[in-house]
Structure 1
Amino acid sequence: MATADVQAPVEPAAPALPDYLLDPNATLKDNSAKWRYGKAPDYSKTREVYEQTKTKTHEAASLPNLVENLVKNWEVEASFKPNIDDWRTIDRPNYTFSINGGPPQSAEHMLKVGTYNAIITPNDYYDPNKSDFASSHKTFKRMMPTFAWEVLEVYSGPPVVAFKWRHWGVMKNDYAGFNDKGEKIVAKAHGRTLDIQGITIAKVNEKVQLQSVETWFDPMEMFRQISPSGEVTRTKPVPIPGQDISTQLHGEGLGDEEEMDERLEAVSLRGGGASADVLAALHAEMGDMSPAGCPFLARQN
């Protein structure tokens, strides 16, 4: 008697990964999106600096590589897509962003104040309350034309992704900004690298879109590196009616929108299921810090 052939069931193909996990420039190709300055920004210089000066090389499609691409695409959208409906990297109904244990903020809040102002608290060098979205970008982009970002380590995988990141660039031009006392602060360019590191814990959905993003870092570290000796020029400018913030700081208007082409990339998220022990240890480490022991945790509402 002939034996009937028995075929093994065909396993369904794994769903394709979203392009924003595979390509750091995926969202820059969204031709139908509305862009803040009329067209997609040019990140080529920042990507070049990243390739030349990064400290980690992640295998393509590895978890660190996927996380790095996700965050880079999120940064593009947060900085340059003024219509949240165009953001593909977030789970909009569930999305929140918080810094150093502060209150969760919405995507709308970040769009209103700007990505720099959303993560920096008032201090002796800079006050986000005395700057707007456009002027804040110009202040930091003029000082540091490229600001590259990389994932250093990933501690846990989806749906809760915890990771350590690095953000760096060269201080090529003077820093100029208003501080919490209303003084104009100018620090001379020193041509050295500014290097900032932090930790992020992010929850993602089944599409690996960001839901809650909690980031811890010391925002004062950048300013300490801007002026290692603490030597700055302080002046008390008299506001001129009708003059915008950028003109008061830099002596000219915002200029051509083409100049606003690249931006800060701020957040970050390793394999397997999220380890409760790892996450508990990370939260405990951050939670045990007090404003006295770690001044950057102090926030002003």
Structure 2
Amino acid sequence: MGDKTGLPDYVLDSNAVLKDKDAAWRYGHPPDYAKTRAFYEGSKTMKHEAGSLPDLVEKLVKNWEIEASFKTSLDDWRTIDRTKYTFSLNGGKPQTGEHMLQVGTYNALLTSSSYYDPAHNDFETSHKAFKRMMPTFAWEVTEVYSGPPVVIFKWRHWGYMANDYVGFNDRGDKIRIKAHGGLIDIQGIVIAKVNDKLELESIDVWFDPMDMFRQIARQDKQGTIEAASVTGGCPFAGASKGSE
């Protein structure tokens, strides 16, 4: 898929992969990004020229995020080279696409702390924790330092803490931090490798995972423990979708 420029649609349209009606979607249909896109348009700091390298990179990553979060079969991910794709955090061990499908994008990006622990939050509950807290969480490219095949760029991810944060920490305790209504604004660097089709071969995200939690807890440094420590495994195992 593409247009007369010969470029794939996923670098020309931020919502390109949402049109993949025959893909295996996590909830049986493509997600609705309308509110997030509107929030992005109203609060972004950059205005990239259409077709510029920052514009193409931003749209590629936005489509990748949709696929990583909502397409349940790696065969349906159009933004990656499935024979080579890996994801890593801060230069750590590269993980496969199948691993991300299993743990989720938040767990792939966050580390164990007194606020959160991927070992105690599965794919569904991790997404619920952050999407409930920030119903709109926009993303933009702010600078691009090098072009293909190795693309290095700076990014910004932001939203407002509209609802309480609820998650399980490194002790297995259920933590609640009251919503302060303020801005959460995190930034970082990505080193990505793409092929001649602009498919992602590797992504290495560099940022401080604790930065978001420092902003979440800026008025409540400890949070409230709402449940005793779990003894092992995910405390949500067997819980139905939508439960807390």
Q: Shorter-normalised TM-score: what interval?
A: over 0.9
Supply the distance in 1 between the matched residues of 2:117 and 2:205 (Cα, whole angstroms). 20
Aligned to 1:214: 204
* Alignment equivalent of 1:166, drawn from 156, 166, 170: 156
Supply the distance in 2 between the matched residues of 1:103 and 1:173 (Cα, whole angstroms). 33
1:237, distance to aligned residue in structure 2 (A): 2.8
Structure 1 unpaired stretches of 5+:
1-13, 257-301
Aligned to 1:28: 18
1:165, distance to aligned residue in structure 2 (A): 0.2
Matched residue of 1:176: which SS? strand
CA contact (8 A) 2:104 2:122 kept: yes
Q: CA RMSD in A?
A: 2.0
Give every structure 1 segment of 4 or more consecutive aligned residues whose post-TM-superposition deviation is greater than 2 Å: 235-239, 253-256
Aligned to 2:224: 233
Matched residue of 2:105: which SS? coil
* Alignment equivalent of 2:133, drawn from 143, 150, 167: 143
Matched residue of 2:111: which SS? coil
Supply the distance in 1 between the matched residues of 2:215 and 2:138 (Cα, whole angstroms). 16
1:101, distance to aligned residue in structure 2 (A): 1.3
1:84-95 residue pairs with structure 2 within 5 A? 84-95=74-85
Supply the distance in 2 between the matched residues of 1:59 and 1:76 (Cα, whole angstroms). 23
TM-score (structure 2 length as normaliser): 0.92
Greater relative CO (CA pairs within 8 A, separation 6+): 1
| Aligned length in residues | 237
1:184, distance to aligned residue in structure 2 (A): 1.2
Matched residue of 2:175: which SS? strand
AA matched with 2:224: T
> Does residue 213 of structure 2 align to residue 200 of structure 1?
no
AA matched with 1:181: R
CA contact (8 A) 2:155 2:188 kept: yes
CA contact (8 A) 1:246 1:254 kept: no
Note closer, same or farther for the CA distance 1:232–1:26 as it changes in structure 2 (3 Å cut).
Answer: same
1:57-72 residue pairs with structure 2 within 5 A? 57-72=47-62
AA matched with 2:25: W
> Does residue 47 of structure 2 align to residue 47 of structure 1?
no
Larger radius of gyration: 1
Supply the distance in 2 between the matched residues of 1:196 and 1:15 (Cα, whole angstroms). 34
Matched residue of 2:119: which SS? helix
Please state which structure has a larger fraction of its residues in strand.
2
Describe the superposition over 1:2-50 as per-residue Cα deviations: whole angstroms up to 9, x where unpaired: xxxxxxxxxxxx8511000000000000111111100000000000000
Note closer, same or farther for the CA distance 1:152–1:246 as it changes in structure 2 (3 Å cut).
Answer: farther
1:234, distance to aligned residue in structure 2 (A): 1.7
Supply the distance in 2 between the matched residues of 1:20 and 1:174 (Cα, whole angstroms). 34
TM-score (structure 1 length as normaliser): 0.75
* Alignment equivalent of 2:113, drawn from 114, 123, 126: 123
1:2-41 residue pairs with structure 2 within 5 A? 16-41=6-31
Describe the superposition over 1:100-159 as per-residue Cα deviations: whole angstroms up to 9, x where unpaired: 111000000000001101111110100110011111110111111111000000001011
> Does residue 179 of structure 2 align to residue 189 of structure 1?
yes
Aligned to 1:176: 166
Aligned to 1:113: 103
CA contact (8 A) 2:136 2:159 kept: yes
Matched residue of 2:163: which SS? coil
Note closer, same or farther for the CA distance 1:244–1:185 as it changes in structure 2 (3 Å cut).
Answer: closer
Structure 2 unpaired stretches of 5+:
none
Aligned to 2:241: 254
Matched residue of 1:245: which SS? coil
1:236, distance to aligned residue in structure 2 (A): 3.6
